Amino acid sequence: MPTSATLRALRAFIEARDWDQFHSPENLAKSISIESAELLELYQWTNDPDQQRVEDELADVVTYCIHLANKLGVDLDEILMNKLAQTEQKYPVHLAKGRMTKYTELQQDEEEEE
Amino acid sequence: MPTSATLRALRAFIEARDWDQFHSPENLAKSISIESAELLELYQWTNDPDQQRVEDELADVVTYCIHLANKLGVDLDEILMNKLAQTEQKYPVHLAKGRMTKYTELQQDEEEEE
Amino acid sequence: MPTSATLRALRAFIEARDWDQFHSPENLAKSISIESAELLELYQWTNDPDQQRVEDELADVVTYCIHLANKLGVDLDEILMNKLAQTEQKYPVHLAKGRMTKYTELQQDEEEEE
Amino acid sequence: MPTSATLRALRAFIEARDWDQFHSPENLAKSISIESAELLELYQWTNDPDQQRVEDELADVVTYCIHLANKLGVDLDEILMNKLAQTEQKYPVHLAKGRMTKYTELQQDEEEEE
């Protein structure tokens, strides 16, 4: 992920504009944060913002995430699956089912019950 | 994107924990912003943070982006390519090459030159 | 604002640790964003987070805002009042009363009514 | 903090527009995050953005912080001084002087030295 066609298109876009020089990991991390806030802004005063604008802002966030993954030389699918494995351990089904409680508190709850 | 295997794994994770009820688009937009800031935090005082931690935080951002795309019923590759087409128009190569200038200012520069 | 006693205490804290060297405006802007996300995180899955934690995170945001104002050599009260004057013009009471609509749209609404 | 004149002006602005109904603590926390990202955006591709724009965005962040403090019924100066007392303990001068290292790591370093 993304598909190799999308990846090629994104790389060609950057190359044609000679923008790689601006894409330090730190700058990309800033861009991800800034674009995320633009996405959040759509939900600031309504639960039902314009779908097209949401898609555009979500696309911006993911585009910068792909640029950062490229810079770091990592495959997004791979790091996603690695992180998922960790999260599954932190939030075991029998403790986490149906509630959003931070994993540190989930484990405390369990210890107290024992 | 993501691969269908990753997509299935993410969905199974949520389903097993019955967490879909918490994943309103607005909550997911908040989560994307929060995770983005955790990624940015790694670059707050250094340009060279621990690679594993960067991968983990980047994975968190993208995971929530995938959840949001699912909620909205959109394909990430598709909205990415749509947005890229718009961005290519806003930043034509002959104006944008080698500089980071907002597209509104790029076009002003061009008009002034004409 | 802040009171001169608070301002003195914040400055003494930084000076004692020789941290001024890290406080470029850009770094402070990053810190403000990161701390804001920590504040937002408290409201991620609940509307009623722990009051002490909210106060602590809010204090972090404002502390970095004060550091940035110091760096820029501006008085927070003054820039606040300047911005308020602008916002009052963008959101005239007869258009903005009782609704959260972006000022660009407010003015469109008015033109259409005329 | 802020001065009582500024505080009165901010309150009058909100009251005249009947906007208090939109200012839940959660919404204000979102606003703080969104405005912080707009501030950060000014520093995205330059270290030396337009001063007026920085002042305006910084004013936005602090304005929402003041609204939130009002909602919570807390005094900003007081929570700032409380938080500063905590931070002073986490970052003792003899460990923190001249370096930006998270307090958990600072204390580890000290334990290892002993």
Query: Which DSSP string corresponds to C44-67?
Result: SS-SS--HHHHHHHHHHHHHHHHH
pLDDT in tens, D4-13: 889 899 999 9
Would you state the pLDDT for residue A62?
Answer: 97
CA distances from D9 to D13, D22, D44 (A): 6, 18, 32
pLDDT in tens, D30-76: 999 999 999 999 999 999 999 999 999 999 999 999 999 999 999 99
Alpha carbon distance B59, A78 (integer Å): 9
Alpha carbon distance B54, B106 (integer Å): 33
What is the radius of gyration, based on Cα positions, of chain D? 19
- Pick left, alpha or beta for residue C84 (phi over 0 → left; psi -120 to 50 → alpha; otherwise beta): alpha
Å between C52 CA and nearest CA of chain D: 9
Alpha carbon distance A85, A64 (integer Å): 24
* CA–centroid distance for D36 within its chain: 9
Nearest neighbour of D59 by CB, restricted to C3, C37, C83 = C83
pLDDT at B1 over 70: no
Alpha carbon distance C17, B114 (integer Å): 54
Q: Enter the pTM of the model.
A: 0.93
Nearest neighbour of C33 by CB, restricted to D40, D79, D87 = D40
Residue of A nearest to C42 (CA): A102
Cβ contact D67:D76 at 8 Å: no
- C10 closest CA partner among B78, D1, A99: D1
Å between D57 CA and nearest CA of chain B: 18
Is the bond preceding D25 in cis, omega lying within 30 degrees of 0? no
pLDDT at A100 over 90: no
Give mean pLDDT, residues A16-25: 95
Q: Tokens for B31?
A: 């989560």
Mean pLDDT, all residues of chain C: 92
Residue with tokens 């009051």: C51
Can you list the alpha helix ranges (DSSP code H) found in C1-114? 4-17, 25-42, 51-72, 76-90, 93-96, 103-113
Give mean pLDDT, residues C51-72: 97
Test mutation, B33, B38, B50, chain D, max D CBs within 10 A:
B33
Question: The complex's ipTM?
Answer: 0.93
Å between B46 CA and nearest CA of chain D: 9
Residue with tokens 């019950």: A113
pLDDT in tens, A64-93: 999 999 999 999 999 999 999 999 999 999
Alpha carbon distance A39, D34 (integer Å): 9
Residues 25-64 on B with a CB inside 8 Å of C are 27, 30-31, 33-34, 36-38, 40-41, 43-45
At residue C1 the predicted structure's pLDDT band, cuts being 50, 70 and 90, is: low
- Phi–psi pair at B65, nearest 5 degrees: -65, -40
Query: Which DSSP string corresponds to D64-85?
Result: HHHHHHHHHT--HHHHHHHHHH
B44 neighbourhood in chain D, CB within 8 Å = 100
Alpha carbon distance C99, C101 (integer Å): 6
Would you state the pLDDT for residue B114?
Answer: 62
Alpha carbon distance C1, C76 (integer Å): 6
